[in-house]
Chain A
């Protein structure tokens, strides 16, 4: 893509924004040298999950079990976990998958929940959320929706179900936008 990419580069400070110049000041350390840039825009693109957040549990150092780890380091429950006890802290995607893995391998699992979780089954949820998107008699997604993934298709498919005329208008706009990208 002929993008100008700097590898092995680190932000040295939190970027600051000048309202009068309408520009950022961003200092970057690269190969031992400092360089300050003044872009109009700074885009955070560091990914979704980032570094693991591992809480400190009092007494964790006394843990006598065979594994104490963050979900990102979890490689799967032992094939025979019969008689073992597992505690899963947290109640979202990874927590449920890990709890199920232990359960299916015979362990006694306790899940610790702090705040509430939104749960849906994929069987029912995806059917409703994606209805009309990827079906033989679906709406025929324009290219821009495929490129930008599910974000718009979920919304537009929902809109079409309720207002058939909505998608006709919106999709024709999207097709025009698409031609500028492809």
Chain B
């Protein structure tokens, strides 16, 4: 159930991050959607890595 919920959250985040993700793809960076498209948190639990949550801009 947790994974199913995170699938929706991932899609929502993906829309908000579209410009960043498109830029990464354009420069040749390989992206994925996490296990079964469930994104950040599920990938952290299953892989323990393979994720990059960008740090907030502090300045």
B30 touches A124 (CB 8 A): no
B16 & A118 in contact (Cβ 8 Å cutoff)? no
Q: How far is the CA of A62 from the CA of B52 in the complex (A)?
A: 31
Min CB–CB distance A159 → chain B (angstroms): 6
Rounded to whole Å, the gap between the CB of A101 and the closest CB of chain B is 11
> Quick one: CB contact mask for A131-155 with B, threshold 8 Å, 1 for yes?
0000000000000000000110011
The answer to whether A125 and B13 have CB atoms under 8 Å apart is: yes
Contact call A48/B48, Cβ cutoff below 8 A: yes
Interchain CB contact under 8 A, A115 and B48: no
- Contact yes or no, A91 B55, CB < 8 A: no
| Distance of B18 from chain A, by nearest CB (Å) | 10
Query: For B57, what are the chain A residues with a Cβ–Cβ distance below 8 Å?
Result: 123
What are the residues of chain B within 8 A of A93 when measuring CB–CB?
Answer: 49, 51-53
Which residues of B in the span 1-50 have a Cβ within 8 Å of any Cβ on A?
1-2, 5-6, 8-9, 12-14, 16-17, 20-21, 24, 29-34, 39-41, 43, 45, 48-50
* 6 A–B contacts, CB within 8 A, in A order: A118-B31, A118-B33, A118-B34, A119-B31, A119-B51, A162-B8
